[in-house]
Chains A and B, each alone.
Chain A
Amino acid sequence: MDIFLQQLINGLTLGSIYGLIALGYTMVFGIIGMVNFAHGDVFMVSVFIALITLLVLTQALGMSAMGLALVIVMIAAMAFTSLINWAIERVAYRPLRGSFRLAPLISAIGMSIFLSNFVQDTQGPRNKSIPPMFNDVIALTSGPGYHATLSYKQIVIWGVTAVLLVGFWLLVRHTALGRAQRACEQDQKMAALLGVNVDRTISLTFVIAAALAAVAGTLYLMYYGVVSFSDGFLPGVKAFTAAVLGGIGSLPGAVIGGLLIGLIETFWSGYVSSSYKDVAAFSILAITLIFLPQGIFGRPDVEKV
């Protein structure tokens, strides 16, 4: 029972991070119908930016209040990552809009290779680790033997994710930008005719996707405390799996899918085998797409002649 509870807590934590990344995939796919392969690497870049900002804050500026430092780190990571994703969209995807279907996909794969190698070349190939922070835990069960614990880090991750999701939901539902996004999702040409600036809306979608990935990146850094240049691929694929599982294009679907993937992964490594946990994630991806291609919350794809 203790192990079950512990895996549940860990799974929800991991799932929150996946969910935040998955939102980026699902938004971009919804609006321009493209699998943004580079999104996992954008996430990885955001972890590095968070790491660098944290080092500058604590070592050069001597900041010791970790809570405040983390808030500044998150804002800085969001700003820089958004700028990077904006530039990526401008350089690699916008010229290919309306081109044939494979071109943006190849361009995104090229961008993904470029980003991970850029970080490898500028920051070095070694794992970067920082001392753990917020180490206090709350013991949830008592008695002899193993105890399930809930750490402050996990509470922070849940809290930040929940607050962000509510804010994000309000943004998409109730602002002009959100309306423009939904209009572009349905019909870009019609939206343009009705005065929506399509290019700007798509750019802002990439900016928001990057900002969410940067939040996930900051939380990831705080939780694991270690990152390397190759850490973009697997979280990226798993987050994409989450987006597909929830129904790609659906925002609540991405979050639910993320939580499910996180839970499946932790329970699989807890009860079955930790060496095959990635196989489990990939199998779920394949099984979902084969048997439930529209996902849990997605709309079925109607084929027109």
Chain B
Amino acid sequence: MARAFDQHEPPAWLRAAKSALLAGLIAFGLFLPLIGIRTEQDINNALTFRTRWPLLAAMVALIIAARFVQMIFIVPFVARRKERQRRDTTPPAAPASWRAKVSRWFVPAALGFVMAYPILVLLLNRSSGAIKWIDNFGIQILIYVMLGWGLNIVVGLAGLLDLGYVAFYAVGAYSYALLAKNFGLSFWLLLPLSGILASFWGIILGFPVLRLRGDYLAIVTLAFGEIIRLVLINWVPVTNGYAGVGGIPRPSFFGLPLDASANGFAATFHIPFSPLQRVVFLYYIILALALLTAGLTLRLRRLPVGRAWEALREDEIACRSLGINTTNTKLTAFAMGAMLGGFAGAFFAARQGFITPESFTFIESATILAIVVLGGMGSQIGVAIAAVVMIGGTEAMRDLDILKSVFGAGFDPTQYRMLLFGFAMVMIMVWRPRGFVSSREPSVALKQKKAVAADLIGEGRG
């Protein structure tokens, strides 16, 4: 150990204090203009500023304290653990079997939970609270789970980096909204139609970008996503521009609308009408759609086309030399991902009843891609977990009254939702660059399926 020989090394607390002071100095520089000074309009609408020194001092103190704690406790702890891991060459046996047991029961348990979720919520809450729980958490998270799984086909399986996925979501949503409003077609007819239209767009947009790879592909798909949004904004005669499309018809239950009308669901079954019925119905639609996506992905992975996707992700040149038509393989991946995005879009329009181009910004695409990558590309369970953490977490920020009691009544947690979302994206990537679930189930195996470490999975160059 080098440390034993070095007599002049300062004590640990001194080094930690020095480092903490340096961090505080840097934090002071970082926060001085933006936190220390706030620009404001005065009565004459001219811009003035006021200083916020206490807040700045608090932030700097917080950084100093955090750095000191990190240097004193966390750094030696991590170093000790690394040292232990280095010495321990025998793999720990007990946690592995425990982990296997958990992973075997995790999927059925999670499935059972999402099936029973509305009933559980109803048992625990009254009607108004239940709507919030099912709508804000259940449906919202499931939409993102479905979008994540749809994009997972393109990014996780085929290895094509798509930053404009929201375009297909928008195509699906506007297809349903415009066709249902202008031609009075039903949700159940338009759901597949929206998917087909979206997959057409997937092929149209996929065709020119076949030659592109990596970051370039990401940027061009981003450009396409933005072009579609800008067209939706500017093509006012059809899309009504910024004002959006309102009064979109809701899905019906075997022809029975879920409203208070005389031929509605409640009247037919002679039960009192409650908006809860519609919310629960929508919940099960999106659950069915999400499970359809998951099942489709599982089956596709065993078909030749699914294997071709994964082969393409691992090595495109090898793929081509083995006679796989990479053009068709890429286009099917784009079309399949786009179709699922279109389904989700049609559902989104039917659930909201009102859509504007502002629902389909780049941030949406980034969120969906982040869910796929944070979950661990290609891992369906990981994607679902990431959607629950990121979307559930930001939704939960909406009504945390505890924070109000800590920071005072003027504190509005919703304001900091996206701030924390962005910060969490960075931190999760730094902590686990390969995502939450870092092992994969192989698609093809000889005798026994062994989990594959994510580091060994190709990330795709396309």
A residues adjacent to B (C-beta < 8 A): 34-35, 45, 48-49, 51-53, 55-56, 59-60, 76, 80, 83-84, 87, 91-92, 95-96, 99-107, 109-115, 117-119, 121-124, 126, 128-131, 233, 237, 240, 244, 275-276, 278-279, 282-283, 285-286, 289-290, 293, 303, 305
Contacts and interface: CB of A to CB of B under 8 A. Distances in A.
B345 to A, nearest CB: 21
B42 to A, nearest CB: 10
A197 to B, nearest CB: 19
A87 B220 CA distance: 29
Contacts of B34: 45, 48-49, 52, 118-119, 122-123
Interface stretch (B168-176, B395-403, B416-424): B416-424
SS of B interface (majority): helix
Nearest to B230: A279
Contact of B29 (A80, A95, A289): A80
Contacts of A106: 369-370, 373-374, 425, 429
Contacts of B374: 106
Contact of A276 (B29, B234, B426): B234
A100 B433 contact: yes
Given A100-B459, A106-B369, A286-B224, A55 B49 contact: yes
Interface in B221-241: 222-224, 226-227, 230-231, 234
Contacts of B211: 290, 293
Interface in B359-381: 362-363, 366, 369-370, 373-374, 377
A233 B209 CA distance: 23
B33 A80 contact: yes
B47 A111 contact: no
Interface of B: 26, 29-30, 32-35, 37-41, 46-49, 161, 208-209, 211-212, 214-216, 218-220, 222-224, 226-227, 230-231, 234, 317, 362-363, 366, 369-370, 373-374, 377, 415-416, 418-419, 421-426, 429-430, 433-434, 455, 459
Given A80-B29, A119-B34, A96 B41 contact: no
Contacts, number: 176
B227 A289 contact: no
A282 B223 contact: yes
Given A106-B425, A122-B38, 15 more contacts: A35-B218, A87-B30, A96-B430, A100-B434, A104-B429, A109-B425, A110-B422, A112-B422, A114-B422, A119-B34, A128-B39, A244-B219, A278-B230, A289-B216, A290-B220
Given A35-B215, A102-B161, A129-B47, A286 B220 contact: yes
B373 A102 contact: yes
Nearest to A301: B213
B312 to A, nearest CB: 15
Given A101-B214, A105-B218, A303-B317, A59 B48 contact: yes
27 contacts: A49-B34, A51-B39, A53-B33, A55-B37, A76-B33, A99-B433, A100-B433, A105-B161, A106-B369, A109-B366, A109-B369, A110-B424, A113-B418, A113-B422, A114-B419, A114-B423, A118-B34, A119-B34, A124-B38, A275-B234, A276-B234, A282-B230, A283-B227, A286-B223, A286-B227, A289-B212, A290-B208
Contacts of B222: 237
Contact of A105 (B215, B223, B415, B419): B215
A292 to B, nearest CB: 11
B202 to A, nearest CB: 15
A69 B317 CA distance: 58
Nearest to A284: B223
Contact of B226 (A35, A45, A105, A278): A278
Most A C-beta atoms less than 10 A away, residue of B209, B377, B422, B459: B422
Given A100-B434, A286-B224, A80 B32 contact: yes
A61 B224 CA distance: 48
Contact of A130 (B47, B161, B227, B429): B47
A83 B29 contact: yes
A48 B33 contact: yes
Contact of B419 (A117, A126, A303): A117
Given A59-B49, A122-B35, A282-B230, A35 B219 contact: yes
Nearest to B421: A113
Nearest to A126: B41
B33 to A, nearest CB: 5
A143 B228 CA distance: 44
A282 B223 CA distance: 5
A94 B38 CA distance: 31
A124 B419 contact: no
A43 to B, nearest CB: 14
B27 to A, nearest CB: 9
Nearest to A35: B215
Contacts of B377: 102
Contacts of B209: 289-290
A305 B377 CA distance: 24
Given A95-B430, A105-B215, A111 B422 contact: yes
A123 B459 contact: no
